[in-house]
Amino acid sequence: MARKFRILGWAEKRSRRQHRSRKAISTIMANLTMLVIVVSLSSLLFVWSISSFGAYTGGAGYWFSSRSIANQERPTVESVYFSKTGSTNNVVTIYVRNVGAVPITVASVYLNSTLYNIPQSPPLTVGVSQVQQVQLILSGQLWVKGDLQTITIATLRGTTTQTTWVP
């Protein structure tokens, strides 16, 4: 019986040693290794994304700053007079007022979707709270009394205003 007890004691010691084996340590090390890999790769991804997005902000910053200035432009058409030269209905006089916070430069005027270039050699600039006259001599079209005339004013920064008038 003592012999049996010795064999059981030996098996019991061996089983305790197996519970304290290196298998548990290797799973902990595997988890720590995976954690280190994930943290290092995510930090590399963060550094790469910051440097990549930094390259694109220069152009976007300029675009947004120019749009913020354009958002301060507020051209309005204060009044429009339709007149004729001789017997031809071909003169349109437009009064443009700047109600915005920055001076505007009128780039083009459209009458019923037809572009009319402004004949002034220095650009037509309208100061803040100022009114400027724009006179169009129509070519290829005439205005007719009672017909709707759509007038669109465009600035150099891209701001447009559109109004409809009846002569």
Neighbouring C-beta atoms of residue 155, cutoff 10 Å: 25
pLDDT at 158 exceeding the cut of 90: no
Give the whole-angstrom CA distance, residue 75 versus residue 102. 10
Could you give the count of Cα atoms lying within 13 Å of 109 in the half-sphere of its Cβ?
28
What pLDDT band is residue 72 in, cutting at 50, 70 and 90?
confident
Give the whole-angstrom CA distance, residue 136 versus residue 144. 15
Could you give the count of Cα atoms lying within 13 Å of 100 in the half-sphere of its Cβ?
23
What pLDDT band is residue 5 in, cutting at 50, 70 and 90?
low
- Please say whether the beta carbons of 131 and 90 come within 8 A: no
Architecture of domain 73-165: Sandwich (2.60)
What pLDDT band is residue 24 in, cutting at 50, 70 and 90?
low
What pLDDT band is residue 132 in, cutting at 50, 70 and 90?
very high
